[in-house]
Structure 1
Amino acid sequence: MLLLAAMALVVGTGGAVGAWLLLKMIAIATNLFWFGRLSAGPALITDSAIGLGVLVMPLVGALIIGLMARYGSEKIRGHGIPEAIETILFGESRLSVKVALLKPLSAAVSIGSGGPFGAEGPIIMTGGAIGSLFAQCFHLSAAERKTLLVAGAAAGMTAIFGTPLAAILLAIEVLLFEWKPRSFVPVVVAVLVSFVWRPLLLGSGPMFATASLAPSGLWVVGASSAVGLVVGLEAALLSTLLYRVEDLFHRLPVHWMWWPAIGAIFVGIGGLIDRHVLGSGYASIQALLDGSLAIRVVMALLFVKAVVWLIALGSGTSGGILAPLLILGGATGCLIGHALPGDVGFWAMIGMAGIMSGAMRAPMTGALFAAELTGHFESLPATIASAGAAYAVSVLLMRRSILTEKIARRGRHILQEYTVDPLDFLQAGQLMTPHPDTLPGSMSIAAAGKFFADGAKHRSYPVVDADGRLLGLVSRTDALRWRVSDTDHDVRLADTLSDISQPAAHPETPCGLIADMIIESGVGRVPIVDRESGRVVGLLSRQDLLKARSTHRKAESDRSRYEWRSS
């Protein structure tokens, strides 16, 4: 843990610098595509006077991305987070230099040319690549590389949005697939390092500071839950439509390299309808939170943004999902907010918290992200209510999240529920067969062979000395080998087993360690011996370990009630 925490100091810095570079590249691309100038200064696509060129710029950017994906690396396609998850679970957390360079570059071209995406997915992939590449410079395990990959991803997210708590929770709920000090502490270190760098690189304070005030009263929690239910349905619908669109692209009789260009045609048409749907849309998020948009604009933003985002992302181009989700959830919350007391900007924030939770299956991340993003921590009860309701709807309607569905379509099922392995908290003394039958070390090989030939109840038996201390384990296979070999059948078992290393455990040994022992040794039954006397007090078999898993599953599913009985 301490080693990885020290390495996370470097990874956190790398994630922050990577976020700064990504935003600068997006600004340069935006200036080049829409204003014809080489500049890294702020630029809004809505300020461009390019006219019908709005139909061309997304197409040019998509063609460039298609070429980069085909001749550079196909891993730059997609929204970043599923690719990071897949690398963690199935790629030993190894990302290449090529991905680290091409992913932010392709994202900059995509967003800068008008792609309706945000920078969060690409920076998670880029920050993760920085952590993975740094880890690969050292002699580390796959689990340790995973920790640094996730640390880099969380550091990048922190630098972009200034949301350290949400970044840590995103790591836990979406990327780490564990909650251990070895991984948690380094992620916290990387996030804090990135947060310290952020004022120097990108500025301080909430990314979307707003003056919207939360209405008072207990009814706010109930109303927030209702908003969460609505945006939870919206999240499920968007996820379903996204993969329907992706299926349609897979049916096209053209190479996938051209799919982003086809999707870009619809992006251009959407931009012709309303320029606000193009690019990252951070200005639109701010306007929603400020409550400064008319209902007509909000509805146009909601439906047009949804269509162009679904088509563009389904085409396999490079881009993120978080900023579009915030816009769509915020627009829904804003529309509902016109019928509720309080600022519509507050209800837009509640919608953002809910849709992030429902789509990504990360309820605590969604609740805290909305509060940190706006600086309104007093609204946490409302954001938690929205996130919890949206999460409940999501798990009831969707088998997987918008992130893991993409991986499942490649034949890899991912369970996003944390459970405790029953073998990790049970001890050998709780599962072992106590007082097992044993064979004396004074027994001859001939007698042991006859014992097994006459129908021994078990496949193997512990061999003990006169005081009941373990000498080894003898099995039916040993008896058969002795029968066909030239072994002296008058030799005692104690003499035969004296040079054999027999795995053994103690009653307090965790069953998970014994399972590892069985796998490594190939021995199906492990004697359990008293730590002080060395006497055999039990025997633990593979069957016993499987029974523990079965008991745990029954505790999850079997239902019963207390039976009242009269005395």
Structure 2
Amino acid sequence: MADSGLAQRAPSGTTHAPKLADHSADRRMLVLMAMALVTGTGGAAAAWVLLKLIALVTNLIWYQRLSAESLPIAAAATGPLVLLAPVLGALAIGLMARFGSDKIRGHGIPEALEAILYGESRLSLKVALLKPISSAISIGSGGPFGAEGPIIMTGGAIGSLFAQQFRLTAAERKTLLVAGAAAGMTAIFGTPLAAILLAVEVMLFEWKPRSFVPVVASVLTALAWRPLLIGSGPLFAFTGTLGEAGPTLLIAALMGCIAGAVAALLSTMLYRIEDGFHRLPVHWMWWPAIGAVAVGIGGLIEPRVLGAGYNNIQDLLDGRLVLGAMMLLFAAKAVVWLIALGSGTSGGILAPLLIIGGAFGGILGHWLPGGSGPWAMIGMAAVMSASMRAPLTSAIFTVELTGHFTALPATVAASGAAFAVAVLVLKRSILTEKVSRRGRHISQEYSIDPLALGLAGDLMTPKPDTLPEDMTIAEALKFFEAGAKHRSYPVVDPAGRPIGLASRSDALRWGQGEGELDETIGEQLSDRSLPVATRMTPANQVANLMITENIGRICIVDSKTGKLLGIVARRDLLRSRAEHLRAERERSPKA
């Protein structure tokens, strides 16, 4: 048998060691991939329902007709209705949150993250039903939001509910939750690559085939349904082009740096506004209605700020807005969106970020080669990247939305620069700050566990002190009373194979009369199973074995003979991690 992998001593004394591999995937991945076909279909269907609900509410409120045709709010936003509609919609949302579920408040992604990290990826049927309804009311009544955050939450809830019908682990439920969320985003925007990257950068908190492959299957399933349900082709196609590569990349990076500061300002303002609402002497149920007053006033000033405003994105990309109109849209959309979102109403953040970023890029592009349209696309990528801390998602998202894949180097330059500024200026993103305010901490930095790079053979103490199995309890008591150096010792048979661990706590029980003094410690330990590992067992698996078996020392054996070679204690694992920390922090002198 090859000397590799984790081993556990069976009653017969044999050891079994699985093969080591680059990845931990097994056949369960195929099961999840098959289940992801369901979440992909569910996410696409939920996206279609949400868009129809938004259109239905929009037509009922603004056009006074029963229709599911998608129409812009700005064309009908006149008179007292501009003030009244957002407030009435927000009142309805406040009531739904108060007496239905408060998880429908906000834009959905922080709630999904919290469910993944702290709720075992369990979302309720109530959330799956109320989130799209509340979001449709919010957006259809004039709320300055998009459908993407709600569909991420709704698609995630569908994946979670489906997973809860089976005997799955929390990690497997997480995979299906994220698969449903990514499918919903794909169906809305037609951006499969960006949806997969969003799952990896923001939601999965891991990079494993077990989760990646099902997410891909779910996204592609939603993409296959999209032409039948919603439509095909880029959502915001336009004809403008950028200039020469060299100057364009430099300008895009500089624009990204400014966008990083803009996004940091937006995030700071959002949570200051939210703090202001928390200080109001009224129940939070009324906050959305109070925030909606600002939405109505903003609609009177610039009707384009009402609703999702996807037509605004198209106008910015096509270069149809003059400089003054872009400036007004940038300022008004930012203000009403921040106030509305800070009030705790329901709605997404991607569409507002695209409009704000597009207006920002279009304003700067007014003086740049190529015109405002292409630079609006660059601004969208930059502001989204800095706000969500998802540079790869943002760069790919904008080129998939527009079909301008030749602009990918420029969107990467802008997204990367904006991301760099944002992480230096703010501790948390617009997504994780809300979770942090609930007493949770999220780290979005992923790295290889240093223990996964080491092997038990590198960490073990070779030739450890042992006790023979034929030692009597009386002799063992004298040994521990005489001042044993260690808390526990491997007990070995005449062939040098470990049969158990004798500890000070064992000696305490023996001293209190548990066992006859002339009985051997081998007989006392015969009914215990002894977890062991081999020299080629990864150190992180040794740590996992310590946790599952609730012991502090693991015997390292030869996989062929079962003979004891060494022992790994907790301090050995800590020493390995300490060496990794030194490599991260200590700067070596110049060569």
Normalised by the size of structure 2, how large is the TM-score? 0.93
Q: Could you say which residue in structure 1 is the equivalent of 2:157?
A: 129
Q: Could you say which residue in structure 1 is the equivalent of 2:520?
A: 492
Q: How does 1:393-542 map to 2 (within 5 A)?
A: 393-485=421-513, 487-542=515-570
2:376 aligned to which of 331, 348, 352: 348
Q: 2 CA distance for matches of 1:487 and 1:277?
A: 80
Question: What letter is aligned with 1:43?
Answer: L
Question: What letter is aligned with 1:310?
Answer: L
Secondary structure, aligned partner of 1:489: coil
User: Cα deviation per residue 1:312-366 (whole Å; 9 max; x = unaligned)?
Assistant: 0000000111111111111111111112111311111011111111000100000
1:99 aligned to which of 109, 127, 140: 127
1:183 aligned to which of 202, 211, 214: 211
Question: What letter is aligned with 2:486?
Answer: H
The answer as to 2:117 corresponding to 1:109 is no
The answer as to 2:66 corresponding to 1:38 is yes
1:235 aligned to which of 260, 263, 266: 263
- Note closer, same or farther for the CA distance 1:338–1:485 as it changes in structure 2 (3 Å cut): same
The answer as to 2:414 corresponding to 1:386 is yes
**Is the contact between residue 74 and residue 304 of structure 2 (CA under 8 Å) also seen in structure 1?**
yes
User: Greater CA deviation, 81-90 or 439-448?
Assistant: 439-448
CA RMSD in angstroms, aligned pairs only = 1.2
Q: 1 CA distance for matches of 2:476 and 2:408?
A: 71
User: Cα deviation per residue 1:11-69 (whole Å; 9 max; x = unaligned)?
Assistant: 10111111011000000111111111111012111211632321111111111111111
**Is the contact between residue 245 and residue 314 of structure 1 (CA under 8 Å) also seen in structure 2?**
yes
2:334 aligned to which of 306, 311, 314: 306
Q: 2 CA distance for matches of 1:98 and 1:510?
A: 43
Q: 1 CA distance for matches of 2:512 and 2:134?
A: 68
Q: Could you say which residue in structure 1 is the equivalent of 2:243?
A: 215
Question: What letter is aligned with 1:104?
Answer: P
**How far off its partner does 1:486 sit?**
5.9
1:261 aligned to which of 283, 289, 299: 289
Q: 1 CA distance for matches of 2:178 and 2:230?
A: 21
**Is the contact between residue 34 and residue 50 of structure 1 (CA under 8 Å) also seen in structure 2?**
no
Q: Could you say which residue in structure 1 is the equivalent of 2:40?
A: 12
Q: Could you say which residue in structure 2 is the equivalent of 1:559?
A: 587
**How far off its partner does 1:446 sit?**
2.1
Task: State the structure with bigger RCO (CA 8 A, min sep 6), 1 or 2.
Answer: 2
Q: Could you say which residue in structure 2 is the equivalent of 1:373?
A: 401
Q: 2 CA distance for matches of 1:480 and 1:122?
A: 59
**Is the contact between residue 385 and residue 393 of structure 2 (CA under 8 Å) also seen in structure 1?**
yes
Q: Could you say which residue in structure 1 is the equivalent of 2:54?
A: 26
**How far off its partner does 1:545 sit?**
1.7
Q: Could you say which residue in structure 1 is the equivalent of 2:318?
A: 290
Secondary structure, aligned partner of 2:531: coil
User: Cα deviation per residue 1:515-566 (whole Å; 9 max; x = unaligned)?
Assistant: 2222222221111111112111111112222222222222222221354xxx
Q: Could you say which residue in structure 1 is the equivalent of 2:8?
A: none
2:578 aligned to which of 550, 555, 563: 550
**Is the contact between residue 79 and residue 318 of structure 1 (CA under 8 Å) also seen in structure 2?**
yes
User: Cα deviation per residue 1:404-455 (whole Å; 9 max; x = unaligned)?
Assistant: 0000000001001112222233221121111111122233322222222111
Question: What letter is aligned with 1:205?
Answer: G
2:391 aligned to which of 347, 356, 363: 363
**Is the contact between residue 515 and residue 524 of structure 2 (CA under 8 Å) also seen in structure 1?**
no
- Note closer, same or farther for the CA distance 1:157–1:486 as it changes in structure 2 (3 Å cut): closer
- Note closer, same or farther for the CA distance 1:482–1:309 as it changes in structure 2 (3 Å cut): same
- Note closer, same or farther for the CA distance 1:488–1:97 as it changes in structure 2 (3 Å cut): closer
User: Cα deviation per residue 1:491-528 (whole Å; 9 max; x = unaligned)?
Assistant: 33333333322221111122222222222222211111
**How far off its partner does 1:203 sit?**
0.8
Question: What letter is aligned with 2:578?
Answer: S
Secondary structure, aligned partner of 1:400: coil
**Is the contact between residue 445 and residue 492 of structure 1 (CA under 8 Å) also seen in structure 2?**
yes
**Is the contact between residue 125 and residue 153 of structure 1 (CA under 8 Å) also seen in structure 2?**
yes
Q: 1 CA distance for matches of 2:470 and 2:157?
A: 62
Secondary structure, aligned partner of 2:567: strand
Q: 2 CA distance for matches of 1:129 and 1:463?
A: 52
Q: 2 CA distance for matches of 1:509 and 1:136?
A: 34
**How far off its partner does 1:121 sit?**
0.3
User: Cα deviation per residue 1:60-83 (whole Å; 9 max; x = unaligned)?
Assistant: 111111111111111110001111
Question: What letter is aligned with 1:441?
Answer: E
Q: Could you say which residue in structure 1 is the equivalent of 2:18?
A: none
The answer as to 2:365 corresponding to 1:337 is yes
Q: 2 CA distance for matches of 1:335 and 1:81?
A: 29
Q: 1 CA distance for matches of 2:296 and 2:95?
A: 19
Secondary structure, aligned partner of 1:505: strand
Q: 1 CA distance for matches of 2:249 and 2:589?
A: 33
Q: Could you say which residue in structure 2 is the equivalent of 1:158?
A: 186
Q: 2 CA distance for matches of 1:305 and 1:519?
A: 52
Q: 2 CA distance for matches of 1:483 and 1:20?
A: 72
**How far off its partner does 1:293 sit?**
0.3
Structure 2 unaligned segments of length 5 or more: list them.
Answer: 1-28
**Is the contact between residue 366 and residue 372 of structure 2 (CA under 8 Å) also seen in structure 1?**
yes
Question: What letter is aligned with 1:23?
Answer: L
Q: 1 CA distance for matches of 2:245 and 2:532?
A: 63
Q: 2 CA distance for matches of 1:480 and 1:170?
A: 55
Q: How does 1:72-87 map to 2 (within 5 A)?
A: 72-87=100-115
User: Cα deviation per residue 1:112-136 (whole Å; 9 max; x = unaligned)?
Assistant: 0000000000000011111111111
Question: What letter is aligned with 2:559?
Answer: R
Structure 1 unaligned segments of length 5 or more: list them.
Answer: none
- Note closer, same or farther for the CA distance 1:486–1:60 as it changes in structure 2 (3 Å cut): closer
Q: 2 CA distance for matches of 1:276 and 1:158?
A: 25
Q: 2 CA distance for matches of 1:156 and 1:251?
A: 35
**How far off its partner does 1:5 sit?**
0.5
Secondary structure, aligned partner of 1:143: helix
Q: 1 CA distance for matches of 2:531 and 2:224?
A: 50
Q: 1 CA distance for matches of 2:233 and 2:249?
A: 27
The answer as to 2:304 corresponding to 1:276 is yes
User: Greater CA deviation, 434-443 or 350-359?
Assistant: 434-443
Q: 2 CA distance for matches of 1:254 and 1:466?
A: 77
User: Cα deviation per residue 1:468-503 (whole Å; 9 max; x = unaligned)?
Assistant: 221221112222222221633233333333332222
Normalised by the size of structure 1, how large is the TM-score? 0.97
1:2 aligned to which of 21, 27, 30: 30
**Is the contact between residue 52 and residue 272 of structure 1 (CA under 8 Å) also seen in structure 2?**
no
User: Greater CA deviation, 252-261 or 470-479?
Assistant: 470-479
Q: 2 CA distance for matches of 1:75 and 1:96?
A: 10
Q: 1 CA distance for matches of 2:465 and 2:565?
A: 10
Question: What letter is aligned with 1:401?
Answer: S
Q: 2 CA distance for matches of 1:557 and 1:46?
A: 55
| Percent of aligned pairs with the same amino acid | 65
Q: 1 CA distance for matches of 2:91 and 2:122?
A: 28
1:149 aligned to which of 159, 177, 192: 177
User: Greater CA deviation, 456-465 or 418-427?
Assistant: 418-427
